[in-house]
């Protein structure tokens, strides 16, 4: 398995917990998403545990990339953020588990083992949040809305503020090329061809307030 988290103390805690489980083998320990992607491509671990919000890319974008490239590594997301909409997006994109960072090391390791065997793990408190989101989406007829990653939503919101691609790159600490890639993903998902239309669609679909 591989892990990626930019908080050294939490990452070290995961490493210690994994070390207590002989069934688990840690092959990579990273602090950035792009480095995690490189290691996953090279090593093809069964499971990768990713912090939802890494400095360069969010975990949902990593999942999307793995799917596009046909890689079989299953992703477990850990996060301090367990809002219903975020959990829904993560699972919609293919996360095999969504865990709160307050869960114990033993729970994390058990979840990794379950995911490696083909299960999906959603703790009880997150199940409640997810059920609430599903009901809310059904009530507002949003079942067929495009699912945007956290970073794509950030790019869309900044685009709505009139920030240029280079300006968005500076604010999000990514390259301009990465911003343009996110914009292209937005255009595809929102079925539009330019920024103005994407922003309009964002307001119309309730993605922007």
* CATH code assigned at 182: 1.10.10.10
Summarised one tens digit per residue, pLDDT across range 87-126 is 888 888 889 999 999 999 999 999 999 999 999 998 888 8
Domain contains 116 = yes
Q: Which domain-ending residue is among 99, 119, 139?
A: 139
Q: Is residue 131 part of a domain?
A: yes
Tell whether 51 and 133 lie within a shared domain: yes
Residue 143 pLDDT > 60: no
Backbone phi, then psi, for 104, in 5-degree steps? -75, 160
In a domain, 196, yes or no: yes
In angstroms, rounded to a whole number, what is the distance separating the alpha carbons of residues 89 and 163? 25
Contact 81, 53 (CB under 8 A): yes
We report the CATH number of the domain holding residue 47 as: 3.40.50.2300
Does residue 74 fall inside a structural domain?
A: yes
Q: Are 113 and 134 part of one and the same domain? A: yes
The answer to whether position 145 is within a domain reads no
Both 120 and 165 in one domain: the answer is no
Which of 139, 170, 186 is the last residue before a domain boundary? 139
State the residue range of the domain holding 198. Answer: 150-204
Predicted TM-score (pTM) of this structure: 0.69
- What's the number of domains the chain is made of? 2
Are residues 89 and 111 both part of a single domain? Answer: yes
Q: pLDDT tens, 160-185?
A: 988 999 999 998 888 899 999 999 88
What is the Cα–Cα distance from 51 to 108, expressed in whole angstroms? 13
If asked whether residues 78 and 180 sit together in one domain, one would say: no
In a domain, 163, yes or no: yes
Sorting pLDDT into bands at 50, 70 and 90, what band is 142? Answer: low
Task: With H, G, I as helix, E, B as strand and everything else as coil, classify residue 29.
Answer: strand
Q: Are 36 and 2 in contact (CB under 8 A)?
A: yes
State the residue for tokens 């083909």.
Answer: 118
């Amino acid at each position: 398995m591989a892990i990626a988290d930019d908080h050294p103390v939490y990452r070290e805690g995961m490493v210690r917990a994994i070390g207590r489980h002989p069934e688990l083998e840690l092959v990579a320990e990273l602090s950035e998403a792009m480095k995690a992607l490189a290691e996953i491509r090279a090593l093809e671990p069964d499971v990768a545990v990713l912090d939802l919000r890494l400095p360069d890319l969010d975990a949902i974008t990593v999942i999307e990339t793995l799917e596009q490239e046909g890689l079989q590594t299953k992703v477990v997301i850990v996060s301090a953020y367990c809002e219903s909409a975020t959990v829904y997006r993560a699972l919609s994109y293919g996360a095999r588990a969504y865990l709160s960072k307050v869960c114990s090391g033993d729970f994390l390791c058990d979840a990794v083992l379950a995911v490696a065997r083909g299960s999906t793990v959603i703790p009880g408190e997150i199940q409640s949040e997810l059920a609430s989101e599903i009901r809310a989406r059904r009530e507002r007829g949003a079942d067929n809305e495009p699912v945007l990653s956290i970073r794509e939503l950030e790019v869309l919101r900044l685009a709505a503020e009139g920030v240029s691609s280079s300006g968005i790159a500076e604010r999000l600490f990514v390259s301009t090329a990465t911003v343009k890639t996110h914009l292209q993903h937005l255009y595809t998902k929102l079925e539009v061809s330019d920024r103005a239309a994407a922003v309009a669609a964002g307001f119309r679909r309730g993605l922007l307030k």
